[in-house]
Structure 1
Amino acid sequence: MQDETLGHPEAQPVALPTEARSADERGPDEGRRGRGRPHRGGPRPDRPKKRDVSGWVILDKGVGITSTHAVAVVKRAFNAKKAGHAGTLDPLASGILPIALGEATKTVPFVMDGRKAYRFTVQWGVETDTDDAEGRPVATSDARPTQTQVEAALPSFVGNIQQVPPRYSAIKIQGERAYDLAREGEIVELVAREVRIDHLSVIEHDGERTVIAAECGKGTYVRALARDLGRMLGCHGHVAALRRTRVGPFVEEASCSIPTLEEGAPDGNGAHLQPVETALDQIPSVPVSRDVALRLMRGQPVILRGRDAPVEGKAFATCGGVLVAVGDIERGELVPHRVFHLGGTAPQRD
């Protein structure tokens, strides 16, 4: 294999190819020009063309809307062709919902694997079948824990622990979602699985309720944590309120709300767009030359040389400040797993 070298940060950006557009993305005068029938209801209203826009929107989702609806609102606010979210947030929960536009959707797995932070309120005395305020009571107690008792119990849930997910969860059982089976009245028996919780602390306590801060890894259910904490304390409990304050590199300080986006124009909303590579903050960056970038964009592995080149692990390559590819470095060779076609469709880091 030809020996490749590290490029330089000042290298010119790659001229990125334009992807073919589907029929739904073509203008009214393209393709079947002259053969279309006139619109019977009068002149066809002009619809704004979908935009090639790429980046991350750090949405502060309000209570009462689904993650799917939130994605649709953001997609419309940017008039973007493609959008998706990184980690579902229940309608009853508020907080950080990272939404990927365009090429940023290729980096969703990196965000999904990131650490998350929550602030949640446990209502003592009642356990519900959904482990939150929407469910029906399945166990009650007159006992109430003191703050000291709650704080003494929290260390049992820190570290790598075994956790049984809520019966009303998206986990699949023989191809069916657990919450669908539970709604149909079937008895759902979920197997405990290992999750990691890094931090738990009491923020407020008034006897009836306790507000707790949590930092945890992928797959952890806060609802299950509240349920198990109530059982350990002998008083039962469920989540009465839940807010996600961080997902990977995305935090509240950089977030925006749906009303803010709806009030702005698609072009003006660009101020709320984070670079695609923001999702890759936990892995090293490798600047490459134009020739190396073109090889990577064709899906070809390249050998990296230079004293500062990573030897093993994941990394992403940039050319002239533009994200080109992300992949694994094996014995000094970068093997691309995702390639990007950004051009001028995404914001760049300062």
Structure 2
Amino acid sequence: MGKRKKGNPVHGWVNFNKPLGMTSTQAVGKVRYMFQAQKAGHAGTLDPEASGVLPIALGEATKTIQYTQDASKTYIFTAQWGESRTTDDKEGEVIATSDASPALEAIIALLPKYTGDIEQLPPQFSALKIDGKRAYDMARDGQDVTLKSRTVTIHNLSIEKHDEKARQTTFKCDCGKGTYIRSLARDIGAKLGCFGYVLHLERAKVGSFKLSDAISLDSLEKIGDNTPQEEVLQPVEFVLDDIPALILKEQEAVRLKQGQRLSFLSKPDVARLSDLNQTTGHDSQKPFTALALFNHTPIGLVEIENVTIKPLKIFNL
């Protein structure tokens, strides 16, 4: 669609299928330019040499990015056995080799060791910061990079394909926030005694965003200016499906949008909160986050504690 003509402000999510060779920042810039959005951001960096789902938030949807960053993710990746590389992917320099070719049975036997909560050392070439500097910048400059291991969660790890002749294995990994697939391939290779790195990486899912529904750059560029945004954009609240909804009255919505707190003191209002707690299973004595709605339009995210509703993030929709 080239660049969309300026008009009404754009708010929502683009389920973008990031191509190989493009950085996540470049992807955000491209989509923002196309939609002429005032604000844009992404939920979870994808390396330039990785492809797949990159959720991009436009306008007021940027206020919900954190809820997608914390979502579970699914990756399809191919590990190349027989070499260790500086970056733990195909872009790095070879630093060690092995003639060993792991058997499928040996790989299958290792899978339980890399499922559940595991300790993982991030790659030296990563975006993590050390004393304010990116680890990959320090590594490129030849500086010592000392990173601490951390606990990550692998929900499921399975084998999709194994090619013993090519010494390659393709995995499907369902994991939690902060998991490095490059580290996973490296560590499995080390355990097998043959070294390993990521040859190909594709993100198939981020929370509710699926690769089967993602839109490619080519498809975006072919969409005309007259195409309804609803055909391309998911609504702001798309990433908030697991957050309970609080239905507001008109005056309550007005007050919240003005940044005011609400107190539900009348019997009918207390009953509304009680019903919400029972429906969602929340402890009424503990604060929790809810999505405030009026006439099916999201007003904002609020914190509910006892009978008090405090605005956290208000949407200007």
Q: TM-score, normalised by structure 2?
A: 0.90
Q: 1:50 to 1:70 in 2, by over 3 A?
A: farther
Question: Within 5 A, what are the aligned runs for 1:64-83?
Answer: 64-83=21-40
Q: What CA deviation, in whole Å up to 9, does each residue of 1:18-54 have, x standing for no partner?
A: xxxxxxxxxxxxxxxxxxxxxxxxxxxxx95365110
Task: Please list the CA deviations of residues 171-216 of structure 1 after superposition, one character each: whole Å capped at 9, or x if unmatched.
Answer: 0001100000000011211110111111100000011100000011
Asked if the contact 1:145/1:235 (under 8 Å) is kept, the reply is yes
* 1:136-147 to 2 correspondences below 5 Å: 136-147=93-104
**Identity rate of aligned residues, in percent?**
46
Q: How far apart are residue 265 of structure 1 and its match? A: 2.5
Answer yes or no: is 1:196 the counterpart of 2:171. no
The CA deviation at 1:299 is: 2.1
Code of the aligned partner of 1:92: E
CA RMSD in angstroms comes to 1.5
Cα distance between partner residues in 1 of 2:156 and 2:289: 27
Matched, 1:148 2:105: yes
Give the distance between the partners of 2:250 and 2:72, measured in 1 at CA.
Answer: 34
Question: Equivalent of 2:14, from 57, 61, 86?
Answer: 57
Q: Are residues 1:330 and 2:305 paired? A: yes
Aligned residue in 1 for 2:281? none
Q: State the 1:335 CA deviation.
A: 1.8
Structure 2: distance between partners of 1:76 and 1:260:
15
Alignment of 1:1-350 (within 5 A): 48-49=5-6, 51-207=8-164, 208-268=167-227, 270=229, 271-304=231-264, 305=270, 306=272, 307-310=274-277, 311=284, 312-342=287-317
Q: Tell me, yes or no, if the aligned pair for 2:263 and 2:308 is still in contact at 8 Å.
A: yes
Q: Which stretch shifts more, 210-219 or 138-147? A: 138-147
Q: Deviations over 1:225-271 (max 9, x none)?
A: 00001001111000000000111111123211111111113441611
Which has a greater percent of helix?
A: 2
Q: Secondary structure at the match of 1:242?
A: strand
Mapped contact 2:5–2:225 kept (Cα < 8 A) = no
C-alpha distance in structure 2 between counterparts of 1:59 and 1:68, whole Å: 13
Give the residue type in structure 2 aligned to 1:283. Answer: I
Decide which moves more: 158-167 or 310-319. Answer: 310-319
Distance 1:328 1:144 in 2: 55
* Number of equivalent positions: 296
What code does the residue aligned with 1:183 have?
R
Secondary structure in structure 2 of the residue aligned to 1:278: helix
CA distance in 2, matches of 1:219, 1:294: 38
List structure 1 segments (4+ residues) > 3 angstroms apart after TM superposition. Answer: 47-51
Give the match's secondary structure for 1:143: coil
Q: What secondary structure, in the 3-state scheme, does the structure 1 residue paired with 2:38 have?
A: coil
Moved more, 264-273 or 179-188: 264-273
Runs of 5+ consecutive residues of structure 2 not aligned to the other structure:
265-269, 278-283
In 1, the alpha carbon distance for the partners of 2:177 and 2:59 equals: 24
Structure 1 residues 50 and 183: CA distance shift in structure 2, 3 A: farther
3-state SS of the aligned residue for 2:124?
coil
Contact 1:58 1:98 in 2 (8 A): yes
What corresponds to 1:16 in structure 2?
none
1:224 and 1:145 map into 2 onto residues whose CA distance is 18
Q: Which has the greater radius of gyration?
A: 1
* In structure 2, C-alpha distance between the alignment counterparts of 1:275 and 1:48, rounded to whole Å: 20
